[in-house]
Each structure stands twice: as C-alpha cells, then as structure tokens.
Structure 1
Amino acid sequence: MPRNAQSNTLMVAAFDFGTTYSGYAFSFRDDPTKIQTNHNWYASGGSSQLVSLKTPTSVLLNPKGKFDSFGFEAENKYVSLAFDDKHEGWRLFRRFKMVLHSNEHLTKRITVEDFSGKQMAAFPLFVMSIKYLREHLLEEVTSQKRGIKETEILYVLTVPAIWDDNAKRFMRDAAVAAKIDPDRLKLALEPECASIWCETLGTDVKGAVAIAGSQYMVVDLGGGTADISVHERKSDGTLKEIHKASGGPWGGIFVDKNYMKMLDQLYGEEALIDLRKTEMSDYFDITRDFELKKRTFNTDKKENFVIRLSVSLLDIANKHSEKSLEERIAAMDIQKNAIAPRGKDKLKIDETLVQSWFKGPIDLLIQHIKSLLSDRKMKRVQTVILVGGFSESPYVQKRLRKEIPGARVIVPADAGLAVLKGAVKFGHNPSIVSSRIMKYTYGTEVLRTFDKNKHPAEKKLFMQGKWKVDNCFDVFVPVNEEVKVDQQVTRGCIPNSEISLTHIYRTTKQNPEYTTDSGCELLGTVQLENSTDIPFQQQVIETTFMFGDTELLIKMQNTTTGKDAFMTFKCFQ
C-alpha cells in the first residue's frame, strides 16, 4: 500500500468475510477507538430471536444469474419465493468460503454448489459479497458523516493466517473486482487482528497480552477453521510472531454436519431433501434454531438439550418410510433414551450425544494446541486467548480449560467480534506487527556451474561452452525464519535475451537443493521485457522478494531501463 494512501486516510473500514457469517466495522481517524459495527442484521420468520452483529455469508442470484441479495435477506427471500412456489431459477449459495481452504488446485474457475446442488464458479460470488458489504458500509458511513470521499477510506479485508498465498491473492483479486482501489486495500491476518484488539480490553486480558515480553497464543475459532498464531509483545508495543501460523478445518460447521447426519438417520436423507424443496422455511428454522442451541450448549448446566424441529419433517419422513420415529431411534447405535421425542416437533437429546457432535473438531484442536505448546520455543507461552464465533461455546471453553491445564484460557467479551474490531485498529496502524515467521522456503530456479563433488552427473548439461546444472533452488528465505515487516531480499543478474522469465518456487524444506525435489511447488512466474537497444551485458535485472507483510510480493526490475514486473500466480495465469 502506498504511503500516501495511508496518510490520506480519514476512515478505516474492515470486512470479516466468514464461512458462516460476515460483517463490517469502521472508525474515523479523528476517533479511531470508537469502532462501530452494523446493528441491523436480523433473521425474520420463525427464528426472529437470532439477532447478530454479522449476517450469513449467503448470496441469492435471480433467474438471470444476477445478484439479488445477501445475508439474512437472501435466505429469507429464497424461503419466501419457495413458499409461493416461485423460486424456480433462483439460486442460493451458502458457506462457500471453505472452497479456499487447503485447495491444492485453486483457480478462479473453482466451483461451488448452490442450495439445490448445482455448480457455479466461486469467484463471482466472492466479488458480489464484497461489493454488497462495501455498498452497505458506504450507506451507513454517509448517513453519519457527509462529505467523506471513498478515496479517503482504507479498506481492510481479514483472511485466515493459515491460508495459502494463492487463497490470499484470490481474495485480493475479488476485492479489486468489487471496485475497491488496490492501493487502498490491505489484507489482515485474523488471529493477529484478534491479538491487536485484546490489548484494548479489560485488565484481565490486557495484562496477559500488553506487557512487554508477554507471549501468548491466539486461537481464532470460526465457522470453518481454527486459525492459530503465537505472539510476543515487544518493548515498543509491536507484535512479533514466534511460531508460524497453523490450524485446520475444525470450526463450528463440522458440529452442524454431525447434527444433520443424526437427522438423516432419524428422518431419512430423502425426507430432508424433500423438506428443503417443499418446506424451505421449516428447514431454515431448524438450522437457525440449532445455531442458537450450539452457541449455548453447556454441560455445567444440567438442562435438557431440546431441539425444535417441525411437524412437516415428521410428516414427510412418514411418507418415505413405514417405520415410526421411535423405531428409527431404536435402530440407531446410541445408548437407550439418548433421543426422546417431545410431541411431533421436538426432540430431547442426551448431553453425551450432543458432546459427540463436538468431539471430532475439538479433539483435533486440542491435540494440535498441545503439540504446539510442547515445542521448547513455546515454554513461556502460558496464555491461550480464544476468539471467533465458535469460541463463545461454553462447552468448547470447558474442554480447552480441562484438557490444557498448564495454560490460562481467556475468552474476551464479544469474542466473535474481536477479529473485526482488531482489523480496524490494524488499518489505523499496520506497523503494529513488526515481524512474522515464514511458513515456506521461497526462492527461484537458477543455473549453477557443475561441481562434481556436489552435483550428480545426471544433472549436468553443456551450455555456452560450460557444464551447468539446471533446476537449482536459489533460496531467498528459509522456512521458520523470522522476517521483519517490509524486509526485502534482492539478487541481481545479467539478462541474456529480450525476455527475462523467472520461476518462483516454495517448499516446506529448510534447504532444498533442486526445484524438482519432492515437495517443491511452482508458485508463479515473473516475466520482464528487456531493451533491445542496449547490449544485454550492460543491463542488470534485480529480483526482489518483499517478505513479512500479510501478502508475499515479488518484483523484477531492469535497473537500466527502469521497467518492472510482478509475479503472476501460476493458478491464476
């Protein structure tokens, strides 16, 4: 981001584009700590009690494939259309962000399914979503502060720290396609934002994160992923990352999936499909009601876990099967009385069965946190801060406190908004993060002079009167190395043709020898046009890796002509 863009900023606006829910927050430069969020997201209908400071990440397209609405509005309109049997051709997309997680073959042609199972390219949906959030934000801002120009707004878009470089670029490109000026756009890593926000909280939290030298872990538990970073507060107040970001697909949606599997067993997959088609309002009420129950499930309170379904689901199930609900419960591999019907529209669920829905993702999360804390570099880390919507679950909090006894687990107030509010603070002061740990070894592919003591004979080739070795990995920075924000590594060379083409590679290996080694991945290329009017021997090409920021930037420049070019990711070429 150009320095003048930061200096001209009168307002910072942050978007938290989540798997399950999305939202925005903002504050003005003259009062940066007064961070505002939207308070108008609400679900109508049977689940009107589900009020949130975020709205579902759902997009509705009209029969012409054009954007119609977003969030609760999109879901409610689709339900209304279905109720009147007018939804033919309309397409609802939900929870599509997970397509970017650990996708080895990510391109802008990657597809996602709509509510009815039909495929569509994901990229336009990301663009539409960000565009909607931006326009909704601008309406709110202009209603408060007349005369503010969009050129005076800095946009921050949060992304998981565990995301791949490709996924981060996908989000940036989507934001730019949504008409956000790339010079006024900054990506922010979600657990870092949470860490920044925790510094502003009460004495209990602040004391664990704000004292110089304090080290702590931030676990951002969202709908799709657990995103973990470990930080140290430096004496100048900035944050230093002391372990590379890690995590996995252990978010709240996996509890939802386990719950839906149980409904499949109880009522039949065909009945649930039929319910989605014929009684869509009831289907959404069921899922929203469970969202409320999931957030508040607590084994310390000996209350019955009662879920509200719909009479229509039982009626539809009875059409598809001659077995009664009681017979289907008896056929399940669960303890006796674990599920008890309460009338035609409710089920009482034993807490042990409910716990089993949480077990898979939370077991993996706890195992991973224990593994991290066992690293000798982490011996001073005694505080774990939980943020994100899923972290608000009392059951999740209890499990972590019980099974990681050596750590102090802190859950700040409004944990679900910590990332969003921290992203606004980060936008006002991006230099608050001073260094990060490299997740990969990065470098280029080069020719080297053949050395019989070092290189295998089968690698050598004869070029320009000399024996050379191709596919050598020239390391610019190794994995697990601490790099300062804005740190640059530059290498120079003499061009030998009109076009200089540099291949950029990465690997998790510390000291790779060749780009053909297993685990080495071609990340992208940089292509630069050289002058034909100046002898090549008089031109110099510099390749610069700019590390430490939330995004990797690689530039090639002909220092003789002044021309430059930036890396194009292989997956987006």
Structure 2
Amino acid sequence: MAAGDRAFNSNDYPVILGIDFGTTFSGCAYAFTQNEEVVDIVRWPKQNNQVYPKTPTLNFYQGNSSEMTQWGNAARIEMQRPTARNSVLLKQYKLYLDENIAKDLPPLPNGLTIVDAIADYLQKFHEHVVSELKKGFARNYGQHQFRYCLTVPAMWSDRAKSTMRDAAVKAGLIDENDHRDRLMLISEPEAAALYCEKKCEQYDLKHGDRFMICDAGGGTVDLIVFEIDDHTGRKLRESTKGHGQSCGSVFLDRRMRKLLKRLFKDYLSKIPASAFETMMDTFVDVIKPQFDGIEDQYISLPASMNLESPSNPDIGLEDGMLCLTAAKLRSDVFEPVVKEVLSLIEDQLVKAGSLQAVFLVGGFGSSNYLFERVQAEFGSRIGLIAVPPRCELAVVRGAVYFGLNPRVVTTRIPRYWYGIDTTTTFEEGIDPPSYKLIREDGSVRCDNRFSVYVRRGQPLDIDNCVSKDFFAYYPHHTTCTLYAAVTDEMPRYTTGPGVRKVANFTIPMPALTGVMEGEKVDLSIKMYFGEVELRVEAVIRGKTYGTTCTFDTD
C-alpha cells in the first residue's frame, strides 16, 4: 500500500472509462475530461450487426482447462461447435459475489476461482475496449492515462466489492502500484441516478425532489431513492438505505425453461438440448422485451425437435408453431418475478414517504410488461414513472459521469452497523459470565463488546471520517478487526446473531527515531464509510499511513 502515500492527481488521467460488468451483458463508455461528452462502445467482436450496445458476459474454457480461449459472443459461437463437447461455457458467474445466493451455487468448474473468472473476462473485454479507443480520438493517449470507474450492485458486501477490485487488478486494468483512486467503484443504482438526473431536464425535477431508481438488470434488481440538492451546484443525496435482490430477468429465463420442459415432458428423451436453446433464444430476443401481458406469443419449433407430429392441441402446438397464451406467460413466467420487483418498490416507497418520480433502468427495466405493471400499481401515487432513453446504458454512462465528478453524490446511507471489538465495564446480570475478564488492577471488564463506528440507516456525508484513538507497543504492527451487522438494533456483542467479521486491517508501525522497544505509541485509526468502498488509515505522530486489509472468507 505504499502507493497510498502519494497524493492522487486526477489530471494525470484525461480519459475516463466506465465499465458495467453485468450478470448477463457487460458494457463500456468513455469520455475525455476536457469536453465531458460520453461515448458508448457499440462495436463488439462477432456481433452480427445487432443494435444491442453490450456484449454477453460469457467465458469459454476448452475441456477442463483453466485457460479461457473465447469470451463474449465468440464464446457462445464456440460452444455450438461439435468440438466443444465437454467444454465449459461459464455464464452468470457474477451471482457468485451475491453472498445470499453463492452458498447454494456449485463450485466453479475447472478449478477456477471467482477472481479468475472475472479477471479472465475483464482482461479480454478491456483489450477490446482499448483497441476501439485507439480507432477514435483517444489514439493520442496512452493506456497509462486512463482512469476507471467500475460498477457494482448496491447490495454487495464490502468483501464482494474488494473481490471485484482484485479481479480488475489481476485483469491488468490498473497496476498494483497505482494509486487506488485510479480505479473507482460506484454502485449501479447510483450510477443510473446520475444518468437520469443528467437527463431529467425534460422531467423537470427540482431542488428537494426525490426520485427512485429501479435498476432491473439480468441478475439483480437494485433500488435506491435520491434527493436533489441544488444549493451548491447540483448534487445527489441518498435518502433511503438502498435495497436489492437477485430477481433480475435471468429468473424469467429460468421460469421459461421450466415451462417449456413441462410442455414437452412427453418428448424430453427425443429433443436435443440445442433445440431447447433455440426456443429459449426466441424467448430472450423476441418475446421477453416486447411482451405486454395481453398478446399471445408464438415460437416456431426448430426442425431438430424430432417430433412425430407437428401438432398437439394439448400443449398449444399447431403446424410446428407453439402458441404460448398471454395468461400462461403471465402466471408461469412474468408475474412471480415482477411481483418481487413491485414489492421491492413498495418497500422503498414506504420508507421514502413521498416520491416525485420512478425511473426504470437496466435491461429488464426496458421490459414493457414490467413498465405496465409498475404504472398500474404506483401511477396514482407517484407523479412520473419513466424509462429513460437507452436505459440499458444508464448504468455505464452514469459511471462515466461519476468518474468525471466523483463528488457528485454527497451523502450515502449505510446498510450495516459497523464497529470493532472492545472490552468495556462488565455489567452484572446483563453480560454473560464467560465474557468476564479481571484485569491486573482489579477492574472487571466485559470482552467481545461491539463498539459502534457507524450507525445503520443514518445518513453519512462523503467525507465522513470516524476517528478513534488507540495505542500500540513499539515496534509491533497492530491489527484491528471490523465487524458489520444487519440487525435492526445496535448489537451489544461482536459474537451476537447477525454480526459478522468483515475484515482485518493491519496498521504498519513505521520506524520511529528515539523510540524504545516496548514503548507505548499513540495512534488514531480513521475509517471512511461515506465512499462506495471502505477506507482505513492510521495517523501516527502526525503522519497518515494506508492500511492493508484482508477480507474475511466465510
């Protein structure tokens, strides 16, 4: 962390790249700091002139090798070749960083770790982006002049965010010795909020107005409410503790796949897997985006289905066309997922009290059916429900705006209690006897007490810094363990339910002149919680030192 000692100079980086690494698709946009015009990367390898401005998040590994040979569209094409038998097409692996889901997922194949998988993809993705930039006006700049802003789901833990940073370093976006601010993380709904706010001249939102971002992507749906603060230039403050869930549009795909398997249950032994994939492609590319809940939908069966007869009225099959009624699609595929999104919105609306607008962004956010349902449910209570232009790019464009002006979000609301482990006076009758410590001076202390640094749900300013004083014995390094809790009330003990260890911070003891071994040295530990990532520094005799942090692996 020696790099932390150097001051960061944003002028060293005239090009800002925003990267949205998504569950199903990833995108990139960039801008030059001098003119701030955001440019989308719209050309991706092996993309048959599609208009979709993002590329699939897919890695292809031949056989049981751990070396990725194709990525994005090329990985999908590779998988369809006969030679790809027993190979691995890795998809939706971003879900491994959602700790609520990860515990139920099988281990990654071919001995890969999640950092490997993300780094493999980001490396190739980044190489392509750099080559695209070189074709445009960016050819006057070297890659060492690029600064990065990477988006992460708001619901991720600190550890998941740190894993993402590790993967970006491993992928070679930045060098380990670069200043950490060269790579910034921003939460996805926050990025989307910056984009909507930029676009909201047409929506006429004013100082003090509140709007909700509902960022519905492939894997996750994230919600957060922002208030516009116009006092000193336009700034945004988070006004509810954001909230999200893994209930994005891949969950529609999973339900659709189950529905097809149910319909064709009598034929399953005969139908090749590729035929199911072809039908699923029709659902994903054609039905899902434009389904409105009213019109029946049709899928023409691939020839490889090998059915004796092209008709079967029982399942809606007629002359090689499968009819899926609107009612069936609503009840079996769309409603269960959309209902989850509606209840997330309801929950945030109750917390916020009143709202002027809701913006739906993300790939699933552009679903007609989702829009209709949100409109029907909330139209009478919220003045404006809108889908901004190119809403699937809202997050990546917002990431670039954030890179151009990282201080535009001034207040954030923590989702956890944060604290460290301390000993305090033992209270008879309250504290468990096993936590009792008797000191040499006769004082009776209670171990494992949670000493709070940050209160859950209490707004924090971006520069919020909590500083506490400690001492260490020279020349020993100090470690401090940070705990987080999601409980409603502040936890009393670090061992209590809902409290988990987040990380260990190592505070290096510098060489000090004239200090004897074993002498007490005063130090302050400063923690910054108002940024997207945790930052911990130590101040020893007026000098500030960075700390190294190891995240706890469960």
Aligned to 2:435: 459
Q: SS at the partner of 1:243?
A: coil
> Would the aligned equivalents of 2:229 and 2:235 in 1 still touch at CA under 8 Å?
yes
1:271, 1:138 → 2: CA distance?
46
Q: CA deviation at 1:272?
A: 8.0
Read off the aligned partner of 2:536 and give its amino acid letter.
I
Q: SS at the partner of 1:200?
A: helix
Distance 1:422 1:560, change over 3 A: closer
Read off the aligned partner of 2:156 and give its amino acid letter.
W
> Would the aligned equivalents of 2:423 and 2:448 in 1 still touch at CA under 8 Å?
yes
Aligned to 2:497: 518
1:493 aligned to 2:470?
A: yes
Distance 1:8 1:15, change over 3 A: same
Q: SS at the partner of 2:27?
A: strand
Read off the aligned partner of 2:415 and give its amino acid letter.
K
2:200, 2:483 → 1: CA distance?
45
Distance 1:179 1:99, change over 3 A: same
Aligned to 1:568: 550
> Would the aligned equivalents of 1:75 and 1:92 in 2 still touch at CA under 8 Å?
yes
Matches within 5 A, 1:151-550: 151-181=144-174, 183=179, 184-201=182-199, 203-205=201-203, 207-208=204-205, 211-235=206-230, 236=232, 237-268=234-265, 271=268, 275-276=272-273, 280=274, 282-292=275-285, 293-299=287-293, 303-315=295-307, 330=314, 339-344=315-320, 346-356=321-331, 357-375=333-351, 378-404=352-378, 405-407=380-382, 408-452=384-428, 455=431, 457-465=433-441, 466-496=443-473, 498-509=476-487, 510-530=489-509, 534=516, 536-550=518-532
Distance 1:269 1:251, change over 3 A: farther
1:54, 1:273 → 2: CA distance?
35
> Would the aligned equivalents of 1:526 and 1:556 in 2 still touch at CA under 8 Å?
no
Q: CA deviation at 1:125?
A: 1.1
Distance 1:308 1:3, change over 3 A: farther
1:455-505 CA distance string (max 9 Å, x none): 455432112333221111111111011111131111111225734222211
Q: SS at the partner of 2:553?
A: helix
1:65 aligned to 2:66?
A: yes
Q: SS at the partner of 2:381?
A: coil
Matches within 5 A, 1:115-134: 120-134=112-126
2:28, 2:194 → 1: CA distance?
17
Distance 1:415 1:564, change over 3 A: closer
TM-score by length of 2: 0.89
1:139, 1:343 → 2: CA distance?
48
Instruction: Provide structure 1 residue ranges, at least 5 long, that are not aligned to the other structure.
Output: 319-323, 331-338
1:146, 1:264 → 2: CA distance?
51
Q: CA deviation at 1:383?
A: 1.2
Q: SS at the partner of 2:140?
A: coil
Q: CA deviation at 1:4?
A: 3.0
> Would the aligned equivalents of 1:539 and 1:560 in 2 still touch at CA under 8 Å?
no
Distance 1:272 1:217, change over 3 A: farther
Read off the aligned partner of 1:62 and give its amino acid letter.
Q
Matches within 5 A, 1:551-562: 551-559=533-541
Aligned to 1:52: 52
Aligned to 1:96: 93
- Aligned CA RMSD, in angstroms, stands at 2.8
1:225, 1:511 → 2: CA distance?
28
> Would the aligned equivalents of 1:17 and 1:158 in 2 still touch at CA under 8 Å?
yes
> Would the aligned equivalents of 1:25 and 1:421 in 2 still touch at CA under 8 Å?
yes
> Would the aligned equivalents of 1:494 and 1:536 in 2 still touch at CA under 8 Å?
no
1:412-438 CA distance string (max 9 Å, x none): 111111111111111111101001001
Q: SS at the partner of 1:413?
A: coil
Aligned to 1:76: 77
Q: CA deviation at 1:60?
A: 0.9
- Decide which of 108, 112, 133 is 1:141's aligned counterpart: 133
Q: CA deviation at 1:222?
A: 0.3
Aligned to 1:335: none
Q: CA deviation at 1:119?
A: 7.0
> Would the aligned equivalents of 1:528 and 1:557 in 2 still touch at CA under 8 Å?
no
Distance 1:306 1:185, change over 3 A: same
1:147-191 CA distance string (max 9 Å, x none): 311121111111111111111111111101111225321111111
> Would the aligned equivalents of 1:39 and 1:53 in 2 still touch at CA under 8 Å?
yes
1:264-285 CA distance string (max 9 Å, x none): 1122498389623xxx4x4543
Q: CA deviation at 1:528?
A: 3.4
2:344, 2:139 → 1: CA distance?
49
Percent identical among aligned pairs is 26
1:363, 1:273 → 2: CA distance?
35
2:239, 2:518 → 1: CA distance?
44
Aligned to 1:8: 12
1:471, 1:570 → 2: CA distance?
18
1:462, 1:158 → 2: CA distance?
49
> Would the aligned equivalents of 1:23 and 1:133 in 2 still touch at CA under 8 Å?
no
> Would the aligned equivalents of 2:473 and 2:520 in 1 still touch at CA under 8 Å?
no
2:356, 2:198 → 1: CA distance?
20
2:226, 2:260 → 1: CA distance?
42
1:442, 1:228 → 2: CA distance?
22
Aligned to 1:336: none
Instruction: Provide structure 2 residue ranges, at least 5 long, that are not aligned to the other structure.
Output: none
Q: SS at the partner of 1:186?
A: strand
> Would the aligned equivalents of 2:115 and 2:166 in 1 still touch at CA under 8 Å?
no
> Would the aligned equivalents of 1:493 and 1:540 in 2 still touch at CA under 8 Å?
yes
Distance 1:73 1:283, change over 3 A: farther
Aligned to 1:333: none
Read off the aligned partner of 1:61 and give its amino acid letter.
Y
Read off the aligned partner of 2:471 and give its amino acid letter.
I
TM-score by length of 1: 0.86
Read off the aligned partner of 1:195 and give its amino acid letter.
A
Q: CA deviation at 1:288?
A: 2.1
